[in-house]
Structure 1
Amino acid sequence: MVFDGFFTQEKTMRTLEEKYINLQNIIRNYDRLAIAFSGGVDSTFLLKVARDVLLDNVVAITARSVSFPEREHKESEDFCKVSGIKQIVVDVDQMSIEGFKNNPPDRCYLCKKVIFETIIESAKQLGIDVVAEGSNADDVCDYRPGMRAIAELKVKSPLKEADLSKDEIRTLSKELGLPTWSKPSFACLATRFVYGQEITEEKIKMAGKAEELLFDLGFTQARCRVHENMARIEIMQDEFEKILQNDIRTRIAKEIKALGFSYVALDLQGYRTGSMNETLNITG
């Protein structure tokens, strides 16, 4: 990929070009590669670069589960079809994973381990020994117990290895013409629940539909955090004025209550990643 002078103006841009080239070299070390592909910003960028480097020696493996909305799965399928990339879809029953429904602080570890074991097995059936996923350099700054499962299973994280941040991945994605460059960040819907609160399939779907409503109304980033029978809405602070418009506010309250919530609240701190981790006593 030639960036036509994109990186020639500033030192920071030249550094980003070096990271991009380093990522290509990291991927080039593998003869064949399976990418755990969700269709999000990071995994789409990783899959695109792997496809450019390895051509037909890369395959996308997508785990389909109740905590990832059908809209996300459809977008992942569309990208692979347009890009001519082979995609394997594996079904994972999260509700049957031991401990998952109880939602302990290490729930993500329990879930990720089963999901990646399934992906690794699927890759092996294709004769592929190396699986990579899309964690980036920013992910080391938050509480992410799922990273332990990735390390234990020896899954590769090329974006993190190349020291690429989320913003840098968006910048490169835009230059590569990827439709996901401005896509809102998404995380498994199980992250919407207070630790210790039981996760049910019904409430996962309620949270997903609430967020779909917010995105359909034009909010650029949104979360529906589940506190028993209350939906705590997180949006970007610069969109507070919009959500407080009477017609939008009343519609959101009415439609989210119709999903099964008794109360709908707006978080005055606004959207932020990992807000459910704020009550955890994490050191080190």
Structure 2
Amino acid sequence: MSTIDEKYENLKDSIKSYGKLAIAFSGGVDSTFLLKVSKDVIGENVMAITAKSISFPEREHKESEDFCKDNGIEQIIVAVDQMSIPGFKNNPPDRCYLCKKVIFENIIATANSHGITAVAEGSNADDVTDYRPGMRAIEELKVNSPLKDAGLSKDEIRILSKRLGLPTWSKPSFACLATRFVYGEEITEEKIKMAGAAEELIFNLGFEQARCRVHGDMARIEVPEDDIEKLMASDVRRKIAGEIKKLGFSYVSMDMQGYRTGSMNEVLDLEEK
């Protein structure tokens, strides 16, 4: 089995082989690490392409811009109207596939217009174990996944990110706000903004990780198990419930299992997907 250092060297060799590379950059842990290593390996031959959409919070967008400016990396912003993607608003179980395909088609076209044929994204080795229909779009469009190919796990990427002094090494995982909706429920701009604002409220109260899952007019709040007691403190609980109701939700509940990735997938029979 390869060590973390061997995987790291394999990653750098892979990046070098592309010559020029465009990276789908969200500002998250994985894509930041991939972009930084690419900058170190191929210098000016790497470009960051960031898709901007309603489900991508402004806070995340600004962090991606700041990182590129601080590291002298060219970044191109591609605006994507998710609401116009056929099927997106209906929120079927393969919504992520429908959306990712359009986003990456735009990213590929942008890269090609700048003379770059190799496009990469930040999926890691752990992503193959979860239900991720978006991976099908990545495979169909032949987008490269260097971190996954190198066998790097999320934990290993965080370790290497810390070594490189990246501020994202301890950054909580983030996913597109469309993942907050129960499958089959219509996604609207209003409710996406409500979910995003609810999470921003919780972050501003000192929680590093949180999700606001949308079930009709009910907000189901997830925080890590270690933070549940903090969330349930009477003053915090009342403030969160009151402010989230002001956003337009009728009910506010807490998930007693705590935060976990892909909790909306728990209702799916993945054997059939």
Distance across 2 between alignment mates of 1:184 and 1:210: 17
Percent of pairs identical after alignment? 74
2:64 maps to which of 60, 63, 76 = 76
1:190 maps to which of 178, 182, 197 = 178
2:78 maps to which of 79, 86, 90 = 90
Aligned to 2:266: 278
2:105 maps to which of 86, 103, 117 = 117
Q: Please list the CA deviations of residues 172-208 of structure 1 after superposition, one character each: whole Å capped at 9, or x if unmatched.
A: 1111000001111000000000000000000001000
Q: Secondary structure at the match of 1:278?
A: helix
Aligned to 1:4: none
**TM value normalised by structure 1:** 0.94
Q: Please list the CA deviations of residues 93-126 of structure 1 after superposition, one character each: whole Å capped at 9, or x if unmatched.
A: 0000000000000000000000000000000110
1:38 lines up with 2:26 in the alignment: yes
The offset of 1:219, in angstroms, is 1.1
The offset of 1:158, in angstroms, is 0.3
1:227 lines up with 2:223 in the alignment: no
1:200 maps to which of 188, 195, 198 = 188
1:129 maps to which of 112, 117, 131 = 117
Q: Secondary structure at the match of 1:29?
A: helix
Aligned to 1:143: 131
Distance across 1 between alignment mates of 2:64 and 2:33: 12
Distance across 2 between alignment mates of 1:240 and 1:280: 26
Aligned to 1:156: 144
Aligned to 2:255: 267
1:105 lines up with 2:99 in the alignment: no
Distance across 1 between alignment mates of 2:201 and 2:126: 28
Q: Secondary structure at the match of 1:90?
A: strand
Distance across 2 between alignment mates of 1:258 and 1:174: 39
Distance across 2 between alignment mates of 1:156 and 1:218: 36
Distance across 1 between alignment mates of 2:194 and 2:202: 13
Q: Secondary structure at the match of 2:92?
A: coil
Q: Secondary structure at the match of 1:50?
A: helix
Aligned to 1:5: none
Distance across 2 between alignment mates of 1:163 and 1:216: 35
**TM value normalised by structure 2:** 0.98
The offset of 1:254, in angstroms, is 0.6
Count of residues in Structure 1 that have an aligned counterpart in Structure 2: 272
The offset of 1:138, in angstroms, is 0.6
Aligned AA (1:107):
R
The offset of 1:55, in angstroms, is 0.3
Unaligned runs of 5+ in 2: none
Q: Secondary structure at the match of 2:183?
A: coil
Moved over 2 A (4+): none
The offset of 1:244, in angstroms, is 1.1
Aligned to 1:238: 226
Aligned to 1:210: 198
Q: Please list the CA deviations of residues 53-82 of structure 1 after superposition, one character each: whole Å capped at 9, or x if unmatched.
A: 010000000000000000000000000000
Aligned to 1:256: 244
Q: Name which of structure 1's ranges 240-249 and 123-132 shifts more when overlaid on structure 2.
A: 240-249
Aligned to 1:67: 55
Distance across 1 between alignment mates of 2:184 and 2:234: 35
Distance across 2 between alignment mates of 1:218 and 1:161: 36
Q: Please list the CA deviations of residues 126-157 of structure 1 after superposition, one character each: whole Å capped at 9, or x if unmatched.
A: 00001000000010011000000000000000
Distance across 1 between alignment mates of 2:202 and 2:129: 27
* Alignment RMSD (CA, Å): 1.0
The offset of 1:216, in angstroms, is 1.1
The offset of 1:217, in angstroms, is 1.0
